[in-house]
Each structure stands twice: as C-alpha cells, then as structure tokens.
Chains A and B, each alone.
Chain A
Amino acid sequence: MGNTPSAEAKAGWTLVSPPAIYVLLMLAAPLLLVFGLSFAGLEGGAKVSLPLQEGQDLHFTLSNYAKLFCWSASDTCSSTDVRMAQATATAMGRSLLVAALVTLTTVLLAYPVAYYVSFHVHPSKKSLWLFLITIPFWTSYVIRVALWRTILGYDGAVDAALGAVGIIDQPLNLLQYGTLAIVITLSHAYAPFAVLPIFVSLEKVDRSLLEAGQDLGESRWTTFLRVTLPLSMAGVVAAVLIVFIPTVGDYVTPELIGSGKVPMIANFIETQMWKLRNQAMGSTLAVSSMLIVAVVATLFVLANRRFLGGRK
C-alpha cells in the first residue's frame, strides 16, 4: 500500500503513463504541429503539402493569416485570395450562426425533458428514461443525418404529413432551404447532449430548498424561476458548450443535407487539408476557427460566471 505521497504518486503515474503517452503522441503532438504549420510557408509562396519534397524548407510567416483578411485586391492579395477570404468569412459566420441556433433550440427543448425526468420520474425509472433518451445518439450519425434528407426532402415525411392534414398543397421541400435544414438536422442530432448535463445539475438541486421556497410563499412557477433555474444554470452552461463546440465544427450535415452548397468551416478546413493538399492554409483555418470558438465559449462562461460560483 503506497500511502506516502511519493509512493502513491509513482504508482499513479506508472498506471496512467500508457494512456497519457498515447494522448501526448496522438493529440498534443498533432495539435502542436497544426499550430506550427499555420505559421509555415515555402519559398515563393508555394503551398505547403506534406510530406515535404527534397529541398523544400519551411519558414515562419504570417501570410497564411494575412490571407484571411484579404477583403480587397492589393499587391499581396490576388482576386482569388479575396474570393477565398470572403467565402471563408461567410462559412465561419454561418457556422457560428448555425451553432448558435442549434444550441438555442436544443437547450430550450431539452430543459423541460431534463426537468421532467429529474422531478417527476420515480428514482428507480430515471436511468431507463435517460437510456431511452441517449439511444438515438449512439446509433450511426451518418445514417441519422442522411435520413433527414428523406424526411425534409421533396415528398419526404414532413411534406407527406403536412399534405395529408391539408396544411400545404405544394411540397415544401425544406431541404432546399439549406441552412434551415442543417439547423433542424443538427438540433435533432445533439438533443441528448443537451438533456444530460441539465439533468445532472437538476438532480443536485436540494429538494428541501424548493419546499422552503414554497413555504416562504412563492408559487410553483416563481419557485422555479427564483430557486430551481438559477441552481441548474451550471448544467445549462455545460449543455450550451457541449452542443455549441461540436456543431460549429460539423462536417457531415452540410455535406449530406446542404449537398455541399452551404459549406461550414469544417468543410473549408477539409478542402484545404485534403482536397487541395494545402496543409499550412488548412492549419491556419483550423487554428483560427478554434480560437474564435474558444473566445465565444469563454465570453459565454464569463457572462454566466455568477451561476457557476459554487461549483468546483
């Protein structure tokens, strides 16, 4: 029993070293490489395509980042660069907008579900309900996204249902409204992600506080607003982050639902990294988008920090 601090630390480190080394090699090293490549350039501005050819030497440059700010043609910005910068900015803006809408939708729709399971379901049945909510999340993402094509598309389930009850006489074909279709699909895909953290935070709410609230003359509704909701905000913040961050970087949905016509930032990163084999520019896009997401997420957490005070 190593219970002196050093013996215990040694045992702990020995055990954790294989997974730690794995993460170091497979996550930390690649991310660092991407960060480095985002500042890399070749003689004459040729694209950086790995693995490097004989005689190619990388140098430090900010030109990759500068290209993202080519709003008008100039000495350093060709007209292609300008079109590229505008398209990238549009895609980034669309990604943020889509992610914000998806986050808003999922969290608002998920809260009552989490509340119901936490407050109205018998404790012995709670894990069954959670299981039912999480199952769809574990089935193939590609299949679920692809299915929305058939649901939202021309003569799909939505058109069939609305047509049957006589609300519409022409098929809506919601799929043609690219961004809207992407928002619907992603909201559906990330729904369980929003339910779980809110549920966990609601579970932690001391039930006697609610009785105290009502005992002090609050109605059910005002007790909810003044006691339950603030106490569960930590879960709401977690839900927002856990939905927002992956949706900003979603790739499959714009490809399958938007048919590539309404690309998001991940599709741009893929184009540079994979199709164009321009890994320096791809890295620049990856780093910039992660930076933007990190800033947005930090601002959001800061704006809500009064709710997070009591949390470790």
Chain B
Amino acid sequence: MTTPEEKPVMIEFRDVHKYYGDYHALRGINGTIRAGEFFSLLGPSGCGKTTLLRTIAGFEDISSGAVLIDGKSMQGVPANVRPTNMVFQSYAIFPHMSVAENVGFGLRKDPRSKPEKAKAVEEALEMVGLKGYGGRAAHALSGGQRQRVALARALILKPKVLLLDEPLSALDKKMREHMQVELIKLQRQVGITFILVTHDQEEALVMSDRIAVMFEGEIAQLADPETLYRRPNSKKVADFIGTMNFVPCEILSEAGGKVEVEAKGLGRVTLDGTQAPPARGETPVVGLRPETLTLLYDGQQASDRATEGVVDEVIYFGDMTYYDVYLGGTDVEVRLSMRNVPGRPILDVGSKVQVAWSPDALVLFR
C-alpha cells in the first residue's frame, strides 16, 4: 500500500451540502482525496455516494460549501472544462459511432493532426487491451469491452482525476473480479487519482487505498481498508463491512484510555478505549469478527482466552464451515468461521465446544 499522506491534495470537500427540494442528499461532507490515490466512496444505495461523485464531475450543483480540485474552487466551472473524466455506470458508449470514434471523441478540439490523434486512440485502446478494435461498431461490443472503451475514452484526455460510477456492477462475477485487478494495474500505470463509487464492500476493500463509507448523506468513516475492517468506528460501519458479532456488555470502569467491561458470555475484559468514540447513547456492545474466534479441538490449548459454548447451527461452505454458537450458557449467539482442513471434523448441532478468542480483536462500541 502506498503512503498517500505524503502526496499533495487533489480534491477537497468543504462542508458540502446538497438539497433536492426538501430532500437533504449531502449533509456536510468534509475530507480530502490525494493525488494518485485509489479512493472509493462506499455505501448502500441512496447514501449520496453517486451524488458526491457527480459534484466532482460537475453534473450536480452543490447547495452550499465548496468542492476544490487541485486547489481551485469548482464553483461555476461547468463539466466540460473540469480536469476530470468519468466512466459511467451504463458506460454511455455512443451507439452511432465506432470504437475509435468513441475513444477519440474528446480529441475533437485537440490541435494535433489527424494521424497523431489516430495514434493516440490506438495507444489508448492498447492500454485497455483492445488493440485493433478501433473499426468495430460500438453497439456490437460485450459488456466488458464497453467498459474498456469507456476507460480508454476517459483516459485519452489525461485527466487529473478519473471518476468511476459503479463501473463493475453490470458485469458478471468472474468478469468483475478480473476487471478489479485490471483497474488496479491501470491506476498504477497511469498514476492519476481514481475515485470509485461502489456499493460492494469487498470491491472497495480489494481496490482502494482509502475508503469513505457513507450513510444518509454523511461520511461515517474515512480510512484505509485495514482500519475500516479491524477498527470500524461505529456499529453501522462494522455491520456494513463484512460480518461482525455484537455481544452486549456493561462498562465497569474507565481510566487512562483503558475500559474495563463485563461482556455477556465472555466475562471481564480490558479494552482499548480510544477505538470507541465517546458515548452516543447507544447500549454498549463489543464486536468480534467471525474469523477471530476459533473452536478448540481435543488437545488444543487456548493461546489467550476461551469460553464454553453450544453449537446451534452448522453452515457448510466448502472451504469453510460457519458455526453459530451460544456462549457460556447465555442466550448470546456468535457466528464463527473455521477453515475446513483435512482431519478436522465438522461438528454436530448441540456439541459442547470451547471457543478461543483474544481481547485484542475486540472492538468496543458505545
């Protein structure tokens, strides 16, 4: 992972608000995106992520606040002169033009000669793996090919920022995974800022240097993928990214950044208090990811702590098995995942088990 902190700021949001009539679509967006960063806007549909992307492109006016690109306010700057280009969700390939005409569309006012432009088009096509496709009719392309044409068409103008609006959502699973890797490679090759809008948390985690998780017009957390996964700052973010078990707890004492809690079924634990933001009035819970819990088989010892449990449900996934387990004679149920390796039996419902865990993996939400 690169260290984007050292790079200059490319995009800055200053308290951006957007209203559609009475509807408050963006509610005070602040944050920066750095040059050369692969940045993702992640959230459920209707959270404002596409609207935010379109305020960068210039397709949406903002009601108040400011959007700056490369230090310049974009107030009153129309889309056609902004240093950004976009790959649309529908790809927006002009159906009445050939592939080459599509890719070269933005070069119409370019002062270069015709052969030079043709060469630029050919190079752009080569970059996205469509060498020799220039003469094809645009409407005869497959989904993946359209996506590549849309990429080439945007990148040929050498924008400072490439905006991608759910670019992979129309592709099937295999193609999507393939294109994720291609996009990462392409971004490293051209070195410009990529801003991706997606509702797919896996996609965001795989591709991004940093991610802004959005809910209801606000950025809930802006962090790198690992922090987002390991140290989500709210139950909502934790729930949206991957799976997390929540165990009710009671706060016993708090001192020097350490919080001592009594977690139901797990017992007394001392946790890092800095990861949990100040109280928001919610009942406190501790969160643990399924993969941080382990079942102890005969002869195995817990490296840290262990709790008794009873298996309630067994879900077989091929490479993994998920177990839903009641903790320590309580009604608290957690899900844990075990890799299926040779010699490790699949347990039955009702089995009494030992669940091993580590206080380090626990996150406090309150």
Contact = CB atoms under 8 A, between A and B. Distances in A.
Q: Do A and B bind each other?
A: yes
Interface of A: 1, 3-5, 7
A3 B58 CA distance: 10
B59 A1 contact: yes
Contacts of B61: 1, 3-4, 7
Contacts of A1: 58-61, 78-79
Interface in B178-220: none
Interface in B236-280: none
A295 to B, nearest CB: 38
6 contacts: A1-B58, A1-B61, A1-B78, A3-B61, A4-B61, A7-B61
B115 interface: no
Interface string B7-26: 00000000000001100000
Contacts of B60: 1, 3
Closest 3 CB pairs of A and B: A4-B61, A1-B59, A3-B61
Given A3-B61, A7-B61, 11 more contacts: A1-B58, A1-B59, A1-B60, A1-B61, A1-B78, A1-B79, A3-B59, A3-B60, A4-B61, A5-B20, A5-B21
Interface of B: 20-21, 58-61, 78-79
A1 B129 CA distance: 33
Nearest to B80: A1
Name A's interface SS.
loop
Contacts, number: 13
Contacts of A4: 61
Contacts of B21: 5
Contacts of A3: 59-61
B86 to A, nearest CB: 13
Contacts of B20: 5
A84 to B, nearest CB: 57
A158 to B, nearest CB: 51
A4 B21 CA distance: 9
A3 B78 CA distance: 12
A5 to B, nearest CB: 7
A9 to B, nearest CB: 12
A5 B23 CA distance: 12
A218 to B, nearest CB: 38
Contacts of B59: 1, 3
Contacts of B79: 1
A3 B60 CA distance: 6
B158 to A, nearest CB: 23
A170 B20 CA distance: 76
Nearest to A5: B21
A4 B60 CA distance: 8
Contacts of A7: 61
Contacts of A5: 20-21
A5 B21 CA distance: 8
A3 to B, nearest CB: 6
A5 B60 CA distance: 11
A5 B58 CA distance: 16
A4 B59 CA distance: 11
A3 B59 CA distance: 8
A5 B20 CA distance: 8
- Chain B CB within 10 Å — which of A1, A3, A4 has the most? A1
A199 to B, nearest CB: 28
A155 to B, nearest CB: 57
Contacts of B78: 1
A4 B55 CA distance: 12
A290 B301 CA distance: 92
Nearest to B57: A1
A1 B60 CA distance: 8
A102 B60 CA distance: 53
A7 B61 CA distance: 11
B234 to A, nearest CB: 32
Nearest to B62: A4
Nearest to A4: B61
B50 to A, nearest CB: 13
B171 to A, nearest CB: 26
B27 to A, nearest CB: 18
A201 to B, nearest CB: 29
A5 B18 CA distance: 12
A40 B235 CA distance: 76
Nearest to B20: A5
Contacts of B58: 1
Nearest to A1: B59
A3 B79 CA distance: 12
A7 B78 CA distance: 14
A4 B61 CA distance: 7
A163 B48 CA distance: 76
A5 B59 CA distance: 14
A4 B19 CA distance: 9
- Chain A CB within 10 Å — which of B21, B58, B61 has the most? B61
A122 B61 CA distance: 46
A198 B38 CA distance: 53
A165 B128 CA distance: 75
A1 B54 CA distance: 11
B354 to A, nearest CB: 50
A1 B57 CA distance: 11
A154 B75 CA distance: 80
A279 to B, nearest CB: 48
A195 B262 CA distance: 73
A3 B61 CA distance: 7
A11 to B, nearest CB: 13
Nearest to B61: A4
A68 B152 CA distance: 75
B352 to A, nearest CB: 46
A164 to B, nearest CB: 55
Nearest to A7: B61
A4 B58 CA distance: 12
A73 B61 CA distance: 73
A7 B60 CA distance: 12
Nearest to A2: B61
B67 to A, nearest CB: 14
A4 B20 CA distance: 8
A34 B49 CA distance: 56
